[in-house]
Structure 1
Amino acid sequence: MRNRFPSLSLSSYGTGWSATRRIAIVAVAVAGLLALAVIVALMTGGGNGHHAPDSAAPAPTGSPSSSEAAPKPSSGSGSVPQPPQIAEPVAYAKAAAQMLWSYDTRDTSRAEQLAGMRAWMTTETKYADWASVAGQVPDPVLWSRMADQDQHATAHITEGHYPSAFKQALAEDPSAITEAYVYVVTVNGKQTLSWKKGGGGAEERAVTLAVQCRPNHDCTLAAFAPSVTQ
């Protein structure tokens, strides 16, 4: 049975979801970045689902409501790592992807997972698309069933880069970045999934993230999109 754990670090989150379910990222950024963000958010997602044992939870039929209240960052975030102090967009996006593609239901509750993820987000609500990130977390029932199977995942990042569309947009209007300082980065890697009785599987993964990196500040996560641009 195929089991998708939305891509939070949970990492299978939302792969293959229809483009219409993606919220346009950085919707209030300057025209050039806005256009690019919309393209990224609307592209079809890539990646395959996990192979899980018959006793594992089935694929989720839905995601948390976009109106779900964003949990406040807390030290009680289970296995979710704290955001790193990184000021370079690609490096931060790679760290964020690894966080999103890793999870452990054995010692982390769904609330802790959300709180841990929320700590990575930009505090500038004007540019933050929390719904696109929180939407990668399975609903409470599915999370509970995954926990019953001790389901957990780790990730290995192979590379990260600016998509050609983003580089072209910057080349055409270099000053566009200076309002929001939101960068679009595509990250590739591999996720390894494990569960009870020696069950497991692995898959290649790719995701496009929007990260905010203002000068003289550490980067933060702005949005997640289950899509890839070259």
Structure 2
Amino acid sequence: MKNRLRLPSLSSFGTSWSAKGRVAVLAAAVVALLLLAGVVAVLSGNGDDHRAPQTAAPAPASSPSASETAPEPSSGSGSVPEPPQIAEPVAYARAAAQMLWSYDTRDTSRDQQLAGMRAWMTTETKYADWASVSGQVPDPVLWSRMADQDQHATASVTEGHYPSAFKQALADDPSAITEAYIYVVTVNGKQQIAWEKGGGGTEERAVTLAVQCRPNQDCALAAIAPSVTQ
């Protein structure tokens, strides 16, 4: 890109997952809820294209490895905020989306960005899909080029909600969620991107997150989930 380089769009993430990967990400409890809601196609990988509307540039061709681990730099996590102490799924998802859509290459290295994002993840490895989150961060070369342009972004969230299919499935079988306590939340908002010499722009953003909120515990991010339904 001649004028700017930006983080990959979250709106198109998850469209190329395998059926096995999709089921593993949302865990047994969430899979059951989605199946009850009649969205088997999202998780079964039947070959249909469930791509969300393209409102931003696609992910760069060179992306981080799915097995990439988050570094723990001694200098901290730069501009990435610490996870809030929130026990309500939609509120936590809103905060997580704002974090995912924000970055500042002027004072935050790629390693710091990853380390800061990792802090938002659930510590229950059975349900954590770190690859879906770390995959939003460009590779080292692209991050470096973004930093050369002083590129940074802030975000605002307009709303967050449970997709209708998830709400219906939860109403039909409330006990289905009690194994993993993972909730599916769709968040909408805007991202304001800026770079050197006064360049900038605003783009619409939408993401569906899997958030774990066990009773009497703060919530944590489990994954960036496939789009379910609005």
- TM-score category by the smaller chain? 0.7 to 0.9
CA contact (8 A) 2:6 2:146 kept: no
Query: Structure 1 pair 18/69, CA: closer, same or farther in 2 (3 Å)?
Result: closer
CA contact (8 A) 1:102 1:153 kept: yes
SS at structure 1 position matched to 2:26: coil
In the alignment, is residue 19 of structure 1 matched against residue 15 of structure 2?
A: yes
Q: How many residues align?
A: 217
Q: Which residue of 2 aligns with 1:62?
A: 62
Query: Structure 1 pair 33/39, CA: closer, same or farther in 2 (3 Å)?
Result: farther
Q: Which residue of 1 aligns with 2:7?
A: 5
SS at structure 1 position matched to 2:77: coil
Distance 1:48 1:31 in 2: 28
Q: Which residue of 1 aligns with 2:154?
A: 154
Distance 1:188 1:48 in 2: 12
Could you tell me which of 45, 52, 76 is aligned with 2:52?
A: 45
Q: Which residue of 1 aligns with 2:214?
A: 214
CA contact (8 A) 2:14 2:226 kept: no
Deviations 1:112-165 (A, max 9, x none): 000000000000001111110001110000000000000000001000000011
Aligned-partner residue type, residue 224 of structure 2: F
Identical columns (%): 75
Query: Structure 1 pair 17/81, CA: closer, same or farther in 2 (3 Å)?
Result: closer
CA contact (8 A) 1:122 1:221 kept: yes
Aligned-partner residue type, residue 16 of structure 1: S
Deviations 1:191-222 (A, max 9, x none): 00000000001111111000000000000000
Q: Which residue of 1 aligns with 2:99?
A: 99
Q: Which residue of 1 aligns with 2:142?
A: 142
Deviations 1:9-29 (A, max 9, x none): xxx34x435612474122343
In structure 1, stretches of 5+ residues that fail to align are 7-11, 51-57
Q: What TM-score, normalized by structure 1, do the two folds share?
A: 0.85
Q: What TM-score, normalized by structure 2, do the two folds share?
A: 0.85
Deviations 1:56-84 (A, max 9, x none): xx962132111112335977000000000
SS at structure 2 position matched to 1:215: coil
CA contact (8 A) 2:5 2:142 kept: no
